[in-house]
Structure 1
Amino acid sequence: MHTVTVIVPAHNEEDGLPATLESLARQTVPPNRILVVDDASTDRTGEVAAAHGVTVLRPPSNLGSKAKAQNYALPRCTTDLVLAVDADTVLAPDYIERILPVFDDPGVAIAAGMVRTRHTRTVWERGRSTEYLFGFHFHRPIQALANSPMVCSGCCSVFRRDALMAFGGFPERTIVEDMDYTWSQQIAGRRAVYVSDAVALAADPENLTYFRKQVKRWMAGFCQNVRLHAGPLILRKPLLAVWVVLALVEILTAPLWWATPFVAAMATGASPPTALAWWAGVDIALTVPVLAYAARRRRLPLAGVLVDIPFAYVTKAVNVVYAWRALFVELLLVPLHLSRGLTVYEKGRADAPVGRKVPVAT
């Protein structure tokens, strides 16, 4: 019988935290203990957490990153499993129940479920919703079948505590600790598992300002991990290295794909609107089948899923800009010692505007 301690790092999360803690209280298999790390919040985060009857830990000063906040709580964990949950993430009632069985395999070091957007009110949330539905019903199942998931999402991952402690805790050397640990464990010969039936709802950025911050962090963190793990991945986990290479190729070729309708218009003499319509038609034809499957799999209204497709083009455009920026800075300037790369942890939410400095690998 597995036992679970939940760690919830929280900085200025008084608005989102109640829903997170209520979702933990509703679990069909309840956790043995819940630890909320009130990381120098200037709002009522600590009071809100205490009102829900959980253990509240208060570091003497701001720790500087999500990983450091989680590591502050880790010595208080005595269970065999640790569930890390973001303070704005809501877990389905059976999340823990569905995750636990995979840890019957002693080779499993980390596991996580499927992430969906918690709200779909703005352009950025609706675009991200489309990205999640496509990624978790196309890329992630393929990676899972190959036993090489790219990442176990940090907002809802379960860790085997002994392996986590032996590793030194949540990695603080990159800006995205979830990908760093997922790759490190697979390189070491342990398994990372995607559990498709376990669902978590994450609160995504609701405006461009915070969407940019989140994407900047994600893309920089991906490239930091490429820089850190490229050699060991190729030697010890070649299938995962394949997914990483494909992701890099997608980034590099993205501008060509976006330029296709304009190149086609010049090459064929077709009007730009006609060329753009053909390009969009091809892209949508490749996207709709996966989204239709996702809608059926998750019992979502198909019309609601399809109507969000145009918003994904907006979010993808931002992704491309920051992906190229990350390639240039993290994989070129940093190795040349012309930049330190991204070293400030900024959460992509308006309720956490304070930058947090975190050391990264060089």
Structure 2
Amino acid sequence: MNHVRHSGSGRHRPDRHEVTVIVPAHNEEAGLPATLDSLARQTAPPRQIIVVDDASDDHTAEVAAAHGATVLRPPRNQGSKAKAQNYALPHCSTELVLAVDADTVLAPDYIERTAAVFDDPEVTIAAGAVQTRFTRTLWERGRSVEYLFGFHWHRPIQHAAASPMVCSGCCSVFRRADLVAFGGFPERTIVEDMDYTWSQMIAGRRAVYVSDAVARAADPETLMYLRKQVWRWMAGFCQNVRLHLPKLFTAKPILALWVLLALFEIVTAPLWWATPFLVAAASSWSLGEALAWWAGAELLLTAPPLVYAAHRRELPVLGVLLNIPCVYATKVVNAVYAWKALAVELVLVPLKLAKGLTVYEKGRPAIPALP
């Protein structure tokens, strides 16, 4: 096992909240340098960076060590991100732990901005806004629209109500004492970030969305990998509904409302998409007129938050708006696997007719190194 303590490149300065970073990595030699470089450029450098080389058969460990990280090698593949993170947790001694995916690049002030919210002793987890790193393919462009809309419309509203739906697992900061007391990163569901966020809010702790902190994640660039990622996300959401929803009604009713609204959106999405055809069939409107009305309504609901997001993140507004058609391809994938998750995780599993999703699959292949 190779242990190399991160030195902070000589730029470390005393901070009121020290941070250890955990980066779970399986075959990440190409993409890992960009993640580690972004950590080295932090205005509030972490005390230590731990890379969990989870049974890689490439040069992940060597790349991590060359960037000054502590490298931990489990004796066998851990099988999920949460288990790999838990392998590193006993090696963390700082007040805060930042979990970063090996394909995620943080803005230079990410740690400084997220750590600051822990001045409030009730805050137990915090995360910033996620954007896509690449917008090369249809699927990446669609996901970029989802992120810009969600993190500049849904998430601020949820934050204002002190009930964010989730602190994103690719870039969340945890209060280590609370995380250890909980038993570490939860392994009972396939999406540990939502499980921990809901569990802590049910326990009366605070989860915080830090809008000024930005993380850029590499998202699926092909339909095959998008399907894997969306199935994991949707199955994990329904697993958490099954596990937590009864407690949310009493302990965190506003979060229960967000969950019910999400379930309502899943169930009614096909009806909304069929609306132009139903209107044309039931009225004097032609199908073209009904489709024009539907598209106008969609644009009216979607465009304003996206224009605001583009200005907020200094992105070209026209480029963002031109990506809107791409989001409907990802929405179809979302709907298919959301309905599958409802059937499997909320119907078949309770009836003991299925086991649900337990195998963790990455939502992308190894990404190429940036020039």
Q: Which bin holds the TM-score, normalised by the shorter protein?
A: over 0.9
Determine whether 1:19 maps to 2:34.
yes
Q: Which of 126, 130, 138 lines up with 1:111 in the alignment?
A: 126
Q: Secondary structure at the match of 1:281?
A: helix
Determine whether 1:31 maps to 2:46.
yes
Take 1:88 and 1:210, find their aligned partners in 2: how far apart are those partners? 14
- Residue 274 of structure 1: CA displacement? 2.6
Alpha-carbon contact 2:31-2:366 (below 8 Å) kept: no
Q: Which residue of 2 aligns with 1:99?
A: 114
Q: Which residue of 1 aligns with 2:256?
A: 241
- Residue 177 of structure 1: CA displacement? 0.1
Q: Which residue of 1 aligns with 2:195?
A: 180
Which residue identity is paired with 2:317? L
Q: Structure 1 stretches of 5 or more lacking a match?
A: 353-362
Q: Secondary structure at the match of 2:269?
A: helix
Determine whether 1:345 maps to 2:360.
yes
1:184-195 map, 5 Å: 184-195=199-210
- Residue 50 of structure 1: CA displacement? 1.1
Q: Which residue of 2 aligns with 1:218?
A: 233
Take 2:128 and 2:152, find their aligned partners in 1: how far apart are those partners? 12
1:1-362 map, 5 Å: 1-351=16-366
Superimposed CA distance per residue, residues 7-62 of structure 1 (whole angstroms, 9 cap, x where no aligned partner): 00001111110000000000011000000000001111111111111100000000
Q: TM-score, normalised by structure 2?
A: 0.94
Superimposed CA distance per residue, residues 60-99 of structure 1 (whole angstroms, 9 cap, x where no aligned partner): 0001100000000000000000000000000000000111
Superimposed CA distance per residue, residues 126-172 of structure 1 (whole angstroms, 9 cap, x where no aligned partner): 00000000000110000000000000000000000000000000000
Take 2:326 and 2:120, find their aligned partners in 1: how far apart are those partners? 40
- Residue 298 of structure 1: CA displacement? 1.0
Which residue identity is paired with 2:40? A
Q: Secondary structure at the match of 1:43?
A: coil
Take 1:68 and 1:295, find their aligned partners in 2: how far apart are those partners? 36
Q: Which residue of 1 aligns with 2:12?
A: none
Q: Which residue of 2 aligns with 1:360?
A: none
Q: TM-score, normalised by structure 1?
A: 0.96
Take 1:18 and 1:214, find their aligned partners in 2: how far apart are those partners? 23
Take 2:241 and 2:289, find their aligned partners in 1: how far apart are those partners? 39
Take 1:266 and 1:45, find their aligned partners in 2: how far apart are those partners? 58
Take 1:19 and 1:274, find their aligned partners in 2: how far apart are those partners? 48
Q: Secondary structure at the match of 2:315?
A: coil
Which residue identity is paired with 1:21? L
- Residue 271 of structure 1: CA displacement? 2.8
Runs of 4+ in 1 over 4 A off after TM superposition: none
Which residue identity is paired with 1:14? E
Q: Secondary structure at the match of 2:50?
A: strand
Take 1:127 and 1:276, find their aligned partners in 2: how far apart are those partners? 21
Q: Secondary structure at the match of 2:152?
A: coil
- Residue 269 of structure 1: CA displacement? 3.7
- Residue 281 of structure 1: CA displacement? 1.1
Q: Secondary structure at the match of 1:288?
A: helix
Q: Which residue of 2 aligns with 1:359?
A: none
Take 2:291 and 2:334, find their aligned partners in 1: how far apart are those partners? 20
Take 2:295 and 2:334, find their aligned partners in 1: how far apart are those partners? 18
Superimposed CA distance per residue, residues 84-123 of structure 1 (whole angstroms, 9 cap, x where no aligned partner): 0000000000000111110000100000000000000000
